[in-house]
């Protein structure tokens, strides 16, 4: 009587696998294993082959010209207009973030006259102003820059959560990308490290996100 042990490893290589006719109902994956060597290996825990890795390989191999891929461009900044809402609270940090954002815009061909900076008291007030600017129709994207640093009370949590939900609501309600660039840090050192220090400048990263989203909306999603 034959043993019921787990099946042996099956290896499919370009020289040994059987090529099935692409229209045959049993060869759903035959068209995607033309150039890859695939293998089913027994699981060390269940004793049976797990198809997850093979499925991912097959899925990534599908290429069809019928599928459209839309993405924003980082090299087509000309003519795009941006508003930057900046919180004055923790200004030593937010000024550095603002400088990083403006410098990045300039590097990507955005003209200075197409950038408008609006100052608000703190990060809590960013959302309502961002929504107003988005609805004005004057800007392709709105950057929202602030810095919330944890203190001794729960005030930090209230402001950080409100700032995030406010920026999200502004984008949804205005139909214009509103980019979240509010730092939420444990202390001032963390904030400075993320505004031009060893962790980079999150203002510059926010500007890149705004560029891509503005380009996507302007050139593909109108």
Strand ranges for the chain from DSSP E: 10-12, 38-40, 82-87, 115-120, 141-149, 178-185, 195-197, 200-201
Question: Which residues are CB-contacts of 134 (< 8 A; sequence separation ≥ 6)?
Answer: 142, 170, 171, 173, 174, 175, 176, 178
- Judge contact between 170 and 131, C-beta under 8 A: yes
Catalytic residue among 21, 69, 140, 155: 155
**With the C-alpha atoms ordered 168, 169, 171, 172, is the resulting torsion angle positive or negative?**
positive
What is the separation, in whole angstroms, between the first and last Cα of the chain? 68
Give 78-124 as a DSSP string. Answer: TT--EEEEEE-TTHHHHHHHHHHHHHHHHHTT--GGGEEEEEESSGG
- Judge contact between 208 and 74, C-beta under 8 A: yes
Determine how many CB atoms are found less than 10 A away from the CB of residue 18.
Answer: 7
Cα–Cα distance measured from residue 92 to residue 94, given in angstroms and rounded to the nearest whole number:
6
Residue 108 designated active-site: no
Tell me which residues are annotated as active site: 155
């Amino acid at each position: 009587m034959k043993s019921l042990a787990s099946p042996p490893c099956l290896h499919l290589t370009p020289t040994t696998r059987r090529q099935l006719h692409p229209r045959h109902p049993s060869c759903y994956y035959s068209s995607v294993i033309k150039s890859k060597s695939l293998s089913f290996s027994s699981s060390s825990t269940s004793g049976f082959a797990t198809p997850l890795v093979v499925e991912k390989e097959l899925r990534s191999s599908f290429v069809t010209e019928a599928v459209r891929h839309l993405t924003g461009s980082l090299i087509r900044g000309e003519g795009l207009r941006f508003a930057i809402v900046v919180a004055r609270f923790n200004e030593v940090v937010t000024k550095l973030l603002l400088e990083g954002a403006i410098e990045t815009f300039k590097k990507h061909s955005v003209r200075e006259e197409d950038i408008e900076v609006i100052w608000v008291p703190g990060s809590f007030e960013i959302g309502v102003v961002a929504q107003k600017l988005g609805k004005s129709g004057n800007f392709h994207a709105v950057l929202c820059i602030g810095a919330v640093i944890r203190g001794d009370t729960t005030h930090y949590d209230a402001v950080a959560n409100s700032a995030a939900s406010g920026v999200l609501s502004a984008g949804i309600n205005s139909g214009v990308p509103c980019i979240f660039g509010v730092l939420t840090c444990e202390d001032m050192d963390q904030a400075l490290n993320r505004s031009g220090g060893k962790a980079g400048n999150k203002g510059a990263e926010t500007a890149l996100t705004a560029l891509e989203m503005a380009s996507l909306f302007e050139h593909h999603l109108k």
